[in-house]
């Protein structure tokens, strides 16, 4: 039986920091990697790196089981090395992650590097990732620029075949010309902040001028490795399985909006803040009123889940007519967050004045009164007044006395300080007026 070893190099990127590169090799099987956005820079006429069928899978990894993968084969007569660049970084740290499955490593006794970090203009590798074998097990290693045993930091030979490992390769840029630091994390704790590294190297080799690419090397030792799910970013964060939002919709119903969304998977999902912004509009006229995002509510998440979860929220804020935008702020248990896409919904402008029957009716002691103000020719607010009268025609309360934009409104009447009986409420807007009867029963 052929033994296989699967390694995971996972980038724990923060949800609020940008990724520099995501590569899931979703290309046609049999094509060369250098025909799909990667650049061959060494051994260009030799054996290329090919796209192969299938992908690597690791529980809770965001780039798991997606697209295809590539095969890197060492110790062929001539071999092609490739690189891919991203936005160059001149400060801070850069984290690299990917899935690797070694089909064989037969003679890497002295160690062999197959991944390296480069700048955006050359293929000279700094921050090299090694694998080395003894009679039965493997060790991981890193160097800044070296290729021999004395220049490489290795782990013990404690990693065995048919076992999955979580690793993170980190390049930290420091001031000066020869003091950048390379670190390797093996099975780091995912529940908190960045832990201490398992391997660190900072020899006095010359630093990269900037960190701007990743290189894949086919090498001189005999090995065969499948590589998949490459992710590069500038921050460590807790996100091995993000909240995967599969749908997010909004439906207007008069002055309310119903939101629905579904997640496919969740990990450490504390919940969702619902945010809204709006721009009241009438034809081509738009007001900037309340144009900033505003938190309107919070919905608890399901924590950890690998099955679809459905969410529903009804915004009953008595929205004015016009366009509104909604988004979700998904928050992890550790406080990190990311935003969903924005969705737009339109509350239609009423065509006529109306004063609706209060609900409930009879009531005790609170009831809701709904009224609408249509668009006028001047596209401006109109003075609206709602007064409440007893059966003697005496005004006992004024519920509304202010300018209102065109829209649908709701207002409460609290009858707790009044006696049971029949009352009347009257809406007046300009020349329009309407009266309705309501019954307070205690």
pLDDT, tens digit (0-9, with 9 covering 90-100), for 422-439: 999 999 998 899 999 999
Cβ-count burial of 253 within 10 angstroms (0-12 exposed, 13-18 middle, 19+ buried)? exposed
Element (H, E) at 269: strand 256-279
**Which of 166, 201, 233 marks a domain boundary?**
233
* 270 and 377 together in one domain: no
pLDDT, tens digit (0-9, with 9 covering 90-100), for 10-23: 444 334 345 788 88
Report the CATH number at residue 422: 2.60.40.1930
Report the CATH number at residue 196: 2.60.120
* 140 and 15 together in one domain: yes
* 200 and 131 together in one domain: yes
Residue 337: predicted pLDDT: 82
Residue 175 has pLDDT above 50, yes or no: yes
Please state, in angstroms and rounded to a whole number, the distance separating the CA atoms of residues 36 and 417: 76
* 227 and 149 together in one domain: yes
Count CB atoms within 10 A of the CB of residue 225: 24
User: Torsion angle, CA of 106/108/114/119, rounded to 10 degrees?
Assistant: -170
Task: Take residue 405 and report the two structure tokens written for it.
Answer: 């934009």
Residue 316 has pLDDT above 60, yes or no: yes
Residue 442 has pLDDT above 90, yes or no: no
Cα–chain center distance at 289: 29
> What is the total count of domains within the chain?
3
Task: Take residue 410 and report the two structure tokens written for it.
Answer: 């709701």
* 211 and 79 together in one domain: yes
Please state, in angstroms and rounded to a whole number, the distance separating the CA atoms of residues 423 and 369: 13
The C-alpha angle 140, 146, 148, rounded to 5 degrees, equals 70
The verdict on residue 38 lying in a domain is yes
The verdict on residue 264 lying in a domain is yes
* 284 and 229 together in one domain: no
pTM value > 0.85:
no
The verdict on residue 379 lying in a domain is yes
Where in 280-321 does DSSP place strands (E)?
281-282, 285-286, 294-305, 309-315
Report the CATH number at residue 303: 2.60.40.10
* 248 and 216 together in one domain: no
Q: Which domain holds residue 371?
A: 354-440
Residue 299: predicted pLDDT: 95
Please state, in angstroms and rounded to a whole number, the distance separating the CA atoms of residues 131 and 114: 8
Count CB atoms within 10 A of the CB of residue 377: 5
Residues in a beta bridge with 320:
407
Please name the residues in contact with 393: beta carbons below 8 A apart, sequence gap of 6 or more: none
- The mean pLDDT value of the chain amounts to 84
Residue 107 has pLDDT above 80, yes or no: no
Can you tell me whether residue 225 is helix, strand or coil? strand
* 250 and 376 together in one domain: no
* 206 and 73 together in one domain: yes
Task: Take residue 375 and report the two structure tokens written for it.
Answer: 């668009």
Can you tell me whether residue 35 is helix, strand or coil? helix
The verdict on residue 238 lying in a domain is no
């Amino acid at each position: 039986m052929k033994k296989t070893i699967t390694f995971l190099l996972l980038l724990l990127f923060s949800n609020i920091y940008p990724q520099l590169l995501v590569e899931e090799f979703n290309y046609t099987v049999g094509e060369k990697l250098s025909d799909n956005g990667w650049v061959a820079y060494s051994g260009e006429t030799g054996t290329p790196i090919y796209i192969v069928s299938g992908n690597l899978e690791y529980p809770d990894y965001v780039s798991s089981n997606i697209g295809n993968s590539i095969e890197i084969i060492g110790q062929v007569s001539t071999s092609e090395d490739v690189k891919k660049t991203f936005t160059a970084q001149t400060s801070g740290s850069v984290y690299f992650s990917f899935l690797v499955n070694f089909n064989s490593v037969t003679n890497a006794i002295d160690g062999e590097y197959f991944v390296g970090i480069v700048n955006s203009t050359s293929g000279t590798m700094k921050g090299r990732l090694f694998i080395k074998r003894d009679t039965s097990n493997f060790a991981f290693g890193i160097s800044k620029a070296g290729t021999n045993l004395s220049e490489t930091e290795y782990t013990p030979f404690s990693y065995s075949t048919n076992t999955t490992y979580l690793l993170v390769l980190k390049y930290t840029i420091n001031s000066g010309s020869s003091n950048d630091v390379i670190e390797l994390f093996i099975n780091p704790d995912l529940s908190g902040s960045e832990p201490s590294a398992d391997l660190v190297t900072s020899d006095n080799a010359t630093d990269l001028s900037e960190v701007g690419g990743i290189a894949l090397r086919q090498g001189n030792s005999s090995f065969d490795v499948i590589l998949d799910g490459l992710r590069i970013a500038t921050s460590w964060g807790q996100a091995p399985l993000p909240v995967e939002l599969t749908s997010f919709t909004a439906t207007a119903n008069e002055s309310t909006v119903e939101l629905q969304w579904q997640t496919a998977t969740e990990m450490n999902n504390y919940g969702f803040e619902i945010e809204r912004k709006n721009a009241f509009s009438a034809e081509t006229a738009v007001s900037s009123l309340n144009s900033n995002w505003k938190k309107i509510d919070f919905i608890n998440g399901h924590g950890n889940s690998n099955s679809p979860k459905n969410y529903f929220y009804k915004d009953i804020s008595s929205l004015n007519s016009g366009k509104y935008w909604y988004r979700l702020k998904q928050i992890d248990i550790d406080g990190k967050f990311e935003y969903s896409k924005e969705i737009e919904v339109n509350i239609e402008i009423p065509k006529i004045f109306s004063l609706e029957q209060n609900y409930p009716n009879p009531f005790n002691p609170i009831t809701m009164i709904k009224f609408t103000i249509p668009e006028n020719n001047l596209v401006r607010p109109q003075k609206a007044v709602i007064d409440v009268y007893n059966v003697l025609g005496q005004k006992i309360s004024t519920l509304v006395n202010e300018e209102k934009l065109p829209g649908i409104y709701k207002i409460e009447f609290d009858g707790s300080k009044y006696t049971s009986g029949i009352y009347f409420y009257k809406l007046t807007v300009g020349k329009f007026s309407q009266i309705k009867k309501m019954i307070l029963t205690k």
